[in-house]
Amino acid sequence: MSPASATGRAAARPAEAPSRKEAPAGGRPGGEGRRRRIRTQLPSTPWLFLGPGLLIVAGFSLYPFVSTVVDSFTDRRTLIGGRYVGGANYQELIHDDMFWTGLRNSLLYMAGVVPLLVVLPLLLALLVARQMPGIAFFRSAFYTPVVASVVVVGLIWVWLLDDRGLVNSVVTGLGFDRIPFLSDSALLLVSAMLVTVWKGLGYYMIIYLAALANVPRELHEAASVDGAGAIRRFFTVTVPAVRSTMVLVGALSSVNAFKVFSEVYLIAGPSGGPGGDDTTLVMLIQRTGTGLSGRVGYASAISVVVFVITLGLMLLVLRANRKEDA
Amino acid sequence: MRMSTRAATAVAVALGSALVLTACGSSDSGGGSDSAEGKVEGTVDFQTWNLKTNFKDYFQGLIADFEKKYPGTEVNWIDQPAENYANKLSADAAAGDLPDVVNVAPDLVYPLAKAGLAMNLEEAAGKYRGEYLPGAWKSHELPGMDGVYAFPWYLNTGPMFYNKKLFADAGLDPEKPPKTYGQLFDSGIDMAKRSKGKIAMLANIPAVEDFGRYGVELMDEQGARFTFNEAKGVELVTEYKKLYDAKALDSQALTNQAEGAGRKFQQQSIAMNPGGALDLQKYKKEAPSLYRNIGITPAVNNTGKDNMYVQGLMVNKQSKVKPAAVAFAHFVTNAKNQMDFAHEVTVFPSTEGSLDDPFFTKEDGTDEGRVKVAAAKAIKTAVNYTPAVFSEQMKVALRNEVAKAMQGKKSPKQALDDAVAECNRLLKTA
């Protein structure tokens, strides 16, 4: 009997599990000595399975993270190795006006985008969750911006919102003054928020669709029997049923909004809007730390601050969720 | 079990320590010598900046000629896209993968030379100095460092396109575009008034080269600190503020990039914009009505000297094939090959005597020919106004402070004082 056929038979006969117990791992026949040797290797077996994944995490997540933290205490440049400077980068950061501008804009961005991304995709999901002819088209259409390149999306919106773009042509055609979407600091940030919301709707809609599929139909029927209308059912049945998904969407969108880069970069320009007024923290990291003269040490210090704030946000959301569960 | 956990922990700690130590020691990349003595042989990695799409045949021929002239050599040509070129260079340099011969501009070569990655060609190839225009050879001299760090390659000036129809509509003479900043400001205000703010003269706020062309002293003589907050600099920003308030600058001037400014010119909502031969071809194809009305004139200046854009070829100081790399960089930039390249596209050779060729002195009756002859004449006395030490971060700092002056958030003097302070701070930490 070949080892291969033994393996096949063992796999095909789960009822004979006790007999497999005697067989070595992998179903290969062997003597007592071989069994003992393999047993002694058992504790390390999980590490063999975990090894590749751990190495990838260590190489691509842990190492860059530790390296960033280490760099934040140095004056490292892109091409010149750094010297230890203690907390000098963090002290500089406190006195850097652009850092505070970046922090303010990142927080504003989050405050503007997250409520919309929690509520609008849910409403959209309720619309497309209905089974009716042609609904698949609308589901795909709403999801299209998610798969579109953010650069292409950004450029399209720049053309739309330009002083002589489509939106302003309509506005002036109706007899109103042009709206300075791309030259006013506040409107620039709002325009970038709109792009983020428009691009994110489809993604979060899919998450809500999955959650809505798990809401028992009987709950809606019972509420209807009790005389609840559509709006009341939404607040008393749908929202409580998808509350944990709303928390998840809130957490994901707030982290993404806080780390916003592409939309603001494309719409407000690399210098971050007029006078840098629309610079976000991640834009500041990119501007400070990249290029041949990049100040990697200082950019790393900003990155560490962004990490701490993001982590804090996640913990706050989780804690709020746990309290409500309790 | 306990042993295994300990072993795993030890391995993890060791791995972590090794990784952290690697992080601490990975970026000092200098080294190598400035000597190019030895036999010309081996494989040379050659990197250009966005040239493959349009000039593939030219470069393939050039490489074949070099390999024929120096048997035993091979050239591996790499072309990088225009966007994020500096980031690509920094990534390669940090990883120790910088090609042997690299297409650079002075502001790109400065940090590389400072990190000890660019060969001092005054030492390695000083014998070729006489082949190049003196100003071009010196264009890769760097403040605070002795020597020259790239072979000068092709040169260009930045001509301005202007819309003759918009000039005529505003009552300005379409055959007499502004030559000085004073004329530019007056024409801009006139145009904005007559078009009731609908047509702006320019799409951008002043950049560092505008300060240079205006006659502002950008740095002190030692190149140790910036001085563009002097009276002339303040005057320039004050005049631009008047343009902005009169709507003679595009309403999106504070955020416009080159692409956006080009689009405004194509939409005929601004009257003047920098341009080149490729833009002209684009307008011919996409905006024929604009193309018919395009006039071409040198960029305005108060100094009598145009701005010169310089491209160079740097030799990697860590190259393993230095003799071949230096020979190839010299080969690409020699008079014959630069002249051949100038026949492919409107660029100007940096080699001595090339600009006296009839190709650059006689017009052929076309707009392009007129631009070429005018630019070739201007380039003999042109100056590269942008200091080599002026990094991307400094450009953003200047742009942001000038924008604040335009918005009235700061006075021109305060804005420039702050820009200079920030640029000097960045210079110290560079």
Residues constituting chain A: 326
Please give the CATH topology (third level) of the domain spanning B42-157+308-379. D-Maltodextrin-Binding Protein; domain 2 (3.40.190)
Domain positions in chain A? 3-71, 88-325
Which residues are CB-contacts of A310 (< 8 A; sequence separation ≥ 6)? A255, A258, A259
Q: Mind telling me how many Å the CA of B319 is from chain A's nearest CA?
A: 17
Question: Residue A293 pLDDT > 50, yes or no?
Answer: yes
Contact between residue B300 and residue B183 where contact means Cβ atoms under 8 Å apart? yes
Contacts of B199 in chain A (CB under 8 A): none
Q: Mind telling me how many Å the CA of B402 is from chain A's nearest CA?
A: 7
Query: What is B388-430 written as a DSSP string?
Result: TT--HHHHHHHHHHHHHHHHTSS-HHHHHHHHHHHHHHHHHH-
Task: Copy the structure tokens of residue B379.
Answer: 């380039």
Calpha distance A172→A191 (Å, rounded): 18
Calpha distance A85→A255 (Å, rounded): 30
Tell me which residue in B4, B89, B251 faces A292 most closely, judged by beta carbons: B89
Identity of the amino acid at B272 = M
Q: pLDDT band at residue B368, thresholds of 50, 70 and 90? A: confident
Residues constituting chain B: 430
Specify the pairing of strand B101-104 against strand B151-157.
Answer: unpaired
Calpha distance B185→B172 (Å, rounded): 13
Q: Is the dihedral of CA A159, A162, A168, A172 positive or negative?
A: negative
- DSSP H or E segment with residue B231: helix B231-245
Q: How many C-beta neighbours within 10 Å does residue B288 have?
A: 9
**B254 and A275: CB-CB below 8 Å?**
yes
Which residues are CB-contacts of A224 (< 8 A; sequence separation ≥ 6)? A233
CB pairs under 8 A between A and B: 136
Contact between residue B378 and residue B191 where contact means Cβ atoms under 8 Å apart? no
Chain B residue with CA closest to A83: the answer is B24
Q: What is the reported pLDDT for B306?
A: 87
| Coil/strand/helix, residue A133 | coil
Q: How many C-beta neighbours within 10 Å does residue A2 have?
A: 7
Q: What is the reported pLDDT for B352?
A: 92
**A43 and B252: CB-CB below 8 Å?**
no
Tell me which residue in A163, A287, A291 faces B251 most closely, judged by beta carbons: A163
Question: Residue A206 pLDDT > 90, yes or no?
Answer: yes
**A78 and B93: CB-CB below 8 Å?**
yes
Q: What is the reported pLDDT for A96?
A: 93
According to DSSP, residue B351 is labeled B
Task: Copy the structure tokens of residue A107.
Answer: 């927080």
Domains B42-157+308-379 and B160-305+386-429 in one fold: yes
Q: What is the reported pLDDT for A21?
A: 39
- The larger pLDDT score, comparing residue B417 to residue B29, is at B417
Q: pLDDT band at residue A39, thresholds of 50, 70 and 90? A: low
Which residues are CB-contacts of A311 (< 8 A; sequence separation ≥ 6)? none
Q: pLDDT band at residue B8, thresholds of 50, 70 and 90? A: very low
Tens-place pLDDT, residues B184-241: 999 999 999 999 888 999 999 999 999 999 999 999 988 889 999 999 999 999 999 9
**B255 and A163: CB-CB below 8 Å?**
no
- Output the average pLDDT for chain B: 87
Tell me which residue in A79, A271, A288 faces B29 most closely, judged by beta carbons: A79
Tens-place pLDDT, residues A96-141: 999 999 999 999 999 999 999 999 999 999 998 887 888 888 888 8
**B430 and A58: CB-CB below 8 Å?**
no
Contact between residue B118 and residue B150 where contact means Cβ atoms under 8 Å apart? yes
Question: Residue A13 pLDDT > 50, yes or no?
Answer: no
Contacts of B255 in chain A (CB under 8 A): 182-183, 188, 268-269, 271, 273-274
* Strand ranges of the sheet holding B151-157, from the earlier edge strand across to the other edge: B73-80, B42-49, B101-104, B308-315, B151-157
Query: What is B123-181 written as a DSSP string?
Result: HHSGGGGGGB-HHHHHTTB-TTS-SB-SEEEEEEE--EEEEHHHHHHTT--TTS---SH
According to DSSP, residue A178 is labeled P
In chain B, pLDDT over 90 holds for what percent of residues? 62
Q: pLDDT band at residue A17, thresholds of 50, 70 and 90? A: very low
Chain A residue with CA closest to B256: the answer is A269
Contacts of A296 in chain B (CB under 8 A): 27
Contact between residue B179 and residue B367 where contact means Cβ atoms under 8 Å apart? no
Chain A residue with CA closest to B21: the answer is A67
Tell me which residue in B20, B111, B251 faces A70 most closely, judged by beta carbons: B20
Contacts of A44 in chain B (CB under 8 A): 4
Residue B45 Cα distances to A162, B58, B66, B72, B99, angstroms: 43, 17, 13, 14, 5
Q: What is the arithmetic mean of pLDDT over A210-217?
A: 89
Residue A60 Cα distances to A52, A55, B28, angstroms: 12, 8, 22
- Reported in sequence order, the residue ranges of B3-56 that DSSP labels E, i.e. its strands, are 42-49
| Coil/strand/helix, residue A272 | coil
Q: How many C-beta neighbours within 10 Å does residue A190 have?
A: 14
Contacts of A165 in chain B (CB under 8 A): none
Please give the CATH topology (third level) of the domain spanning B160-305+386-429. D-Maltodextrin-Binding Protein; domain 2 (3.40.190)
Identity of the amino acid at A177 = D
Q: What is the reported pLDDT for A9?
A: 37
Tens-place pLDDT, residues B126-145: 999 999 998 889 889 998 88
Which residues are CB-contacts of A199 (< 8 A; sequence separation ≥ 6)? A145, A146, A148, A150, A153, A263
**A268 and B27: CB-CB below 8 Å?**
no
Q: Mind telling me how many Å the CA of B100 is from chain A's nearest CA?
A: 17
Chain B residue with CA closest to A279: the answer is B400
**B23 and A63: CB-CB below 8 Å?**
yes
Which position has the token pair 């200079």?
B420
Q: Mind telling me how many Å the CA of A29 is from chain B's nearest CA?
A: 26
Which position has the token pair 């992080």?
B23
Tell me which residue in B16, B251, B391 faces A183 most closely, judged by beta carbons: B251
Range of lowest pLDDT (A41-50, A98-107, B294-303, B411-420): A41-50
Calpha distance B147→B123 (Å, rounded): 7
Calpha distance B252→B265 (Å, rounded): 13
Question: Residue A36 pLDDT > 70, yes or no?
Answer: no
Task: Copy the structure tokens of residue B153.
Answer: 């390659």
Q: What is the reported pLDDT for B257?
A: 78
Calpha distance A12→A34 (Å, rounded): 24
ipTM: 0.80
Contacts of B27 in chain A (CB under 8 A): 76-82, 296
Question: Residue B407 pLDDT > 70, yes or no?
Answer: yes
Query: What is B247-313 written as a DSSP string?
Result: T-B-TTTTT--HHHHHHHHHTTSBSEEE--HHHHHHHHHH-HHHHHTEEEEPPP-SSS--BEEEEEE
Task: Copy the structure tokens of residue B367.
Answer: 């707009």
Contacts of B253 in chain A (CB under 8 A): 183
Tens-place pLDDT, residues B373-387: 878 888 888 888 999
Chain A residue with CA closest to B15: the answer is A58
Can you identify the CATH homologous superfamily of domain A88-325? MetI-like (1.10.3720.10)
Task: Copy the structure tokens of residue A177.
Answer: 């003054």
Question: Residue A325 pLDDT > 70, yes or no?
Answer: no
Tens-place pLDDT, residues B62-121: 999 999 999 999 999 999 988 788 889 998 998 889 999 999 999 999 999 999 999 999
Question: Residue B253 pLDDT > 60, yes or no?
Answer: yes
Contact between residue B302 and residue B94 where contact means Cβ atoms under 8 Å apart? no
The CB-side HSE value for A244 (13 A sphere, CA atoms) comes to 8
Between the two ends of chain B, the Cα-to-Cα distance in Å is: 52
Domain positions in chain B? 42-157+308-379, 160-305+386-429
Contacts of A45 in chain B (CB under 8 A): none
Tell me which residue in B93, B267, B401 faces A79 most closely, judged by beta carbons: B93
Tell me which residue in B15, B108, B255 faces A268 most closely, judged by beta carbons: B255
Contacts of A268 in chain B (CB under 8 A): 255
Q: What is the arithmetic mean of pLDDT over B179-185?
A: 95
Calpha distance B406→B56 (Å, rounded): 44
Burial of A325: CB neighbours in 10 Å, binned 0-12, 13-18, 19+: exposed
- DSSP H or E segment with residue B78: strand B73-80
Contacts of A80 in chain B (CB under 8 A): 27-28, 114-115
Contacts of B28 in chain A (CB under 8 A): 80-81
